[in-house]
Amino acid sequence: MSDEPKDGGGARRGLKPGSRLAGGRKPKAPAAKPPELPKKNPRRPFSARALAILVLARVRATDAFLNIALDTVLDEFRPDERDAGLVTELCYGSTRRQQQLDDAITAYADRKLEKIEDRVLAALRIGAYQRFFMRVPPHAAVAATVDALKELGLMRATGFVNALLRKVGDEPPAGHNHPQWLVDRWTRHFGAEETARIIEADNTAPEVVARINRTRTTRDELLAALPGSRPTAVSPLGLVLPSGRPEDLFGYEEGLWQVQDEAAQLVGLYAAVPPRARVLDACAAPGGKSCHLAEDHQVVSLDVHANKLDKIRREAARLGLKLDVRQADAAKLPEALGEFDAVLLDAPCSGLGTLRRHPELRFRRGPEDLPRLASLQRALLESCQQRVKPGGLLVYAVCTTEPEEGADQIELFLRSHPDFTAEPPPASAGTFPTWQAYLRTLPGPSGMDGFFAARLRRMY
């Protein structure tokens, strides 16, 4: 149920998959085929730690997104709820704290990290994570991690892992778990205090937030039916879900709500598209904003990747919403689509506003990626503006903190398109966190992802 970044691995964003990893090293070339998962013995299912090793090894070997690799392994091996929770904690926690873990491992390893086999390095990371950040007795953390390697047939590595994990101690090295280039940029743009808040938020597990389906329920009704839930602070449509698998909670099968971060919900509200308008969602996957708009608009949802279209259709069907879902490249929109009252371009971007949900991205992105992405976004804007009818809206959104992909991008667009003007939403749309009249959220105490959105009116 996680909202994965929109590029499905980097290709759609114009990125090479995984441009930078911890310590500045270049990643290994993605494997042509993901490593095969071990065969499960039904009489001796893998432990949570063994499954976590499999997930992290796959992420490292193939530059897979963590949430997708995790879902694949959990679907394959189906551990009980308690073990699934532990696998998730080990995978996400050790990825969020990877820089500190790697510094501790490097201090005692007799070889460079890039020379350590994927599954062995994964074991070292989850072993150190347990010692530093979980209430697991040191001897138990080491023994359970070594046992997990034995389950996976890696007896030859157990001595190395056992000896190293016993040396790392119980206190982690100091570190912010973000690349220095990004910390320096944030400090220049937002100041030291705001940067510290962003880093703290990125290193904290996010809560699961949902948006109500207004065609089937109200927020008050859903809050009453979901003990332990609470309303979101800014979005009038959101609620923080109680703990547990979202799919197991009341209202999921009934299509009463959809998982969506509060900042992403605000994009749909900020757009303030008039009711019953004809709307184009040009880069629709994974479909949250399309479904939000489809509650009271005629929506055409496009995505360049055919394999993502079925997911959008299934979500719309679960919610009882009508979507016209098609495959198309937003950079080359066919004229046959016609013109729209509103076009939403939720553009491919660096995803640097979502590092708490996608911690594996923090060392895959480099400063060299930003101009390449900005160029892609300009091409998409140029294509999408052609489908906006006179008097219509072009809504641009990105889940990033970086100005090249946000405000700078829009200023460049407006200078070259005098027929468009930036326009704030009407007061009736609500109150939003804004910067220079644009929607902007930053990770921090609010619990939101980092988003930017602009609302552009075509005057003629």
What confidence score (pLDDT) does residue 245 get? 86
CA 336 → CA 28, 346, 382, distances in Å? 42, 21, 17
* In the chain, % of residues over pLDDT 90: 88
17-21, 139-143, 432-436: segment of lowest average pLDDT = 17-21
Q: By the 8 A CB rule, do 364 and 21 touch?
A: yes
Longest alpha-carbon distance in the chain: 72
Sign of CA dihedral 184, 188, 193, 198: negative
11: pLDDT strictly greater than 90: no
Task: Check whether 211 has a pLDDT greater than 50.
Answer: yes
Instruction: Identify the architecture of domain 22-167 in CATH.
Output: Orthogonal Bundle (1.10)
The residue ranking higher by pLDDT, 284 or 11, is 284
Arithmetic mean of pLDDT, 274-287: 96
* Number of CB atoms found within 10 A of residue 220's CB: 11
- The pLDDT confidence band at residue 45, using thresholds 50, 70 and 90, is confident
Distances (CA, A) of 213 to 63, 196, 243, 319: 34, 35, 20, 7
Least confident span in 42-46, 67-71, 225-229 = 42-46
Region 270-281: mean pLDDT is: 97
**CA 9 to centroid of chain Cα atoms:** 11
Nearest-10 crossing angle of helices 81-96, 118-133: 90
Structure tokens at 354: 């979502």
Q: Is 97 helix (H, G, I), strand (E, B) or coil?
A: coil
Confidence category of residue 75, pLDDT binned at 50, 70, 90? very high
Q: Does position 5 have pLDDT exceeding 70, yes or no?
A: no
Virtual torsion, Cα 367, 368, 369, 370, nearest 10 deg: 60
> Contact 4/358 with Cβ under 8 angstroms?
yes
pLDDT at 36 over 80: no
Q: Decide if pLDDT at 118 tops 50.
A: yes
Per-residue DSSP letter, 314: H
User: Average pLDDT of 291-306?
Assistant: 97
Stretch 87-110: mean pLDDT: 97
pLDDT at res. 135:
87
- As a whole-number percent, the residues of the chain with pLDDT over 70 amount to 90
- Cα(99)–Cα(178) distance, rounded to whole angstroms? 7
Q: Reply yes or no on whether 349 is catalytic.
A: no
pLDDT of 298 > 60? The answer is: yes
Q: What is the average per-residue pLDDT within 304-308?
A: 93
Give the torsion sign (CA, 173, 177, 179, 182).
negative
pLDDT tens-digit map of 166-189 = 999 999 999 999 999 999 999 999
Structure tokens at 6: 């929109």
pLDDT beyond 70 at 197: yes
pLDDT exceeds cutoff 70 at 269:
yes
Tell me the pLDDT tens digit for each residue of 374-426. Answer: 999 999 999 999 999 999 999 999 999 999 999 999 999 999 999 999 999 99
Using CA atoms, how far residue 380 sits from 9, 283, 396, 458, in Å, is 19, 10, 10, 16
Fold of 262-458: Rossmann fold (3.40.50)
Q: What is the mean pLDDT of the chain?
A: 91
pTM above 0.85, yes or no: yes
Q: Residue 112 has what DSSP assignment?
A: -
